[in-house]
């Protein structure tokens, strides 16, 4: 829903990258052109708050939007995401998000919602909490456990698995 209104190549790439890699807004501003290697399909993520920085695989969808964006990228700064005034700043990214979010009725949400969304989506897809921890760059599992609230859909699936497990005694 959100991405359906984000048509500008830079903004689409910015928010897709934030979502796909669970970035904080400031982490998105730290991305430099040289952090993206389209040939090797890798991206270097700079994590804050003591998180695990490092190279990650570049998702095919992310690579595609980055390639599209790079054709129109303004050469006004060294960061991956630039505007007319140079490198995009946190405040500008937040402002852009609010504009797009209001178009689809997501007014109370912030850019950080994209980070929460990827964590929730990974859990709903069946990935373990350790995968989410690594994906978000958390040092401590306790930081990741806030996402471990089980959704109704996932809860139903877990109960079906428990019920069918040969380890559970049938009475």
Q: Is pLDDT at 169 greater than 80 in this prediction?
A: no
What proportion of the chain, given as a percentage, has pLDDT over 70? 96
The pLDDT assigned to 161 comes to 84
Residues tagged active-site = 24, 49, 112, 115, 138, 147
Q: What is the pLDDT of residues 20-56, one digit of tens each?
A: 999 999 999 999 999 999 999 999 999 999 888 999 9
All structural domains of the chain with their residue ranges: 2-156
Confidence (pTM): 0.87
Which CATH architecture fits 2-156? Orthogonal Bundle (1.10)
Q: What is the mean pLDDT of the chain?
A: 92
Q: Is pLDDT at 85 greater than 90 in this prediction?
A: yes
Q: Is pLDDT at 104 greater than 90 in this prediction?
A: yes
pLDDT band at 152 (very low <50, low <70, confident <90, very high): low
pLDDT band at 157 (very low <50, low <70, confident <90, very high): confident
Q: Is pLDDT at 116 greater than 80 in this prediction?
A: yes
As a three-state string, the secondary structure of the chain is: CHHHHCCCHHHHHHHHHHHHHCCCHHHHHHCEHHHEECCCCEEEECCCCCCCCEEEECCHHHHHHHHHHHCCCCCCCCECCEECCEECCHHHHHHHHHHHHHHCCCCCCCCHHHHHHHHHHHHHCCCCHHHHHHHHCCCCHHHHHHHCCCCHHHHHHHHHHHHHCCCCCCC
């Amino acid at each position: 829903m959100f991405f359906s209104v984000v048509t500008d190549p830079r903004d689409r790439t910015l928010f897709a990258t934030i979502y796909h890699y669970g970035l904080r807004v400031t982490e998105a501003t730290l991305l430099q052109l040289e952090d993206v290697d389209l040939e090797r399909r890798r991206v270097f993520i700079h994590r804050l708050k003591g998180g695990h920085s490092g190279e990650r695989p570049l998702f095919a969808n992310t690579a595609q939007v980055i390639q599209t964006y790079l054709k129109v990228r303004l050469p006004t700064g060294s960061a991956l995401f630039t505007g007319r005034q140079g490198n995009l700043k946190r405040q500008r990214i937040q402002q852009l998000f609010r504009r797009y979010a209001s178009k689809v009725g997501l007014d109370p949400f912030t850019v950080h919602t994209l980070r929460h969304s990827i964590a929730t989506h990974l859990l709903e897809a069946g990935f373990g909490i350790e995968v989410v921890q690594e994906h978000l760059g958390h040092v401590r599992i306790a930081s990741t456990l806030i996402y471990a609230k089980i959704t109704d859909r996932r809860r139903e699936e877990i109960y079906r698995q428990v019920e069918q497990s040969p380890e559970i005694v049938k009475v």
